[in-house]
Amino acid sequence: MVHKGTVTLETDRLILRKFRIEDAEAMYRNWAGDSEVTKFLTWPTHTGPEVTKSILSEWNDQYGQPDFYNWAIEWKETREPVGSISVVEVKENADCVQVGYCISRSLWHQGITSEAMEELIRFLFEEVQVGCVAARHDPRNPNSGKVMKKCGMKYDGTLRHCDRNNQGICDASYYSLLREEYEARKMAE
């Protein structure tokens, strides 16, 4: 892998960028403080914007690390962050990364998460030169799996009783996309 860190990426409707401390209020309001958005996530719903600000401060300290990948999904229409997308695990010895994401409930089912994920996948394969991009979701949250499928990821299987999220112990459905699959998909476009 050729680590690049959290560089700014852009799509038609989105800017993927580093979080800033001043994003705390919008992040809390748009998704981090919404228990419906965080229902199936592995981190707890924020109890107030001060919690969000503290986490953003931690993340800002990590942005100097070339293998730290954590983006605010900024909606160009409003110029404020409406979600996040990140590499949650880097497996150097397997040439694989695992990604995670969440988006404001007001933007569900509008293709925003898929648009961000497609750009992240492109960046990871073409610039970071990973061999595999993987992701997982709680099977009780099928819309997350639909994002993965829409982005060309293949269903690998479900591990039972192997994960924990805000609902407690849960199953985890895994998806992945290999470099050769990404390249074949790109050639077919």
CATH (domain of 87) = 3.40.630.30
In a domain, 4, yes or no: no
pLDDT of residue 177: 98
Domain holding 147, by residue range, is 9-188
Q: Mean pLDDT, to the nearest integer, of 168-187?
A: 97
Split into its structural domains, the chain has a count of 1
In a domain, 127, yes or no: yes
In a domain, 2, yes or no: no
In a domain, 65, yes or no: yes
* pLDDT tens column, 70-85: 999 999 999 999 999 9
| Rg, C-alpha atoms of the chain | 16
* pLDDT tens column, 81-119: 999 999 999 999 999 999 999 999 999 999 999 999 999
pLDDT of residue 189: 82
Helices 112-123 & 142-150, crossing angle to 10 degrees?
Answer: 50
In a domain, 137, yes or no: yes
pLDDT of residue 156: 98
Q: Is 94 exposed, middle or buried (0-12, 13-18, 19+ CB in 10 A)?
A: exposed
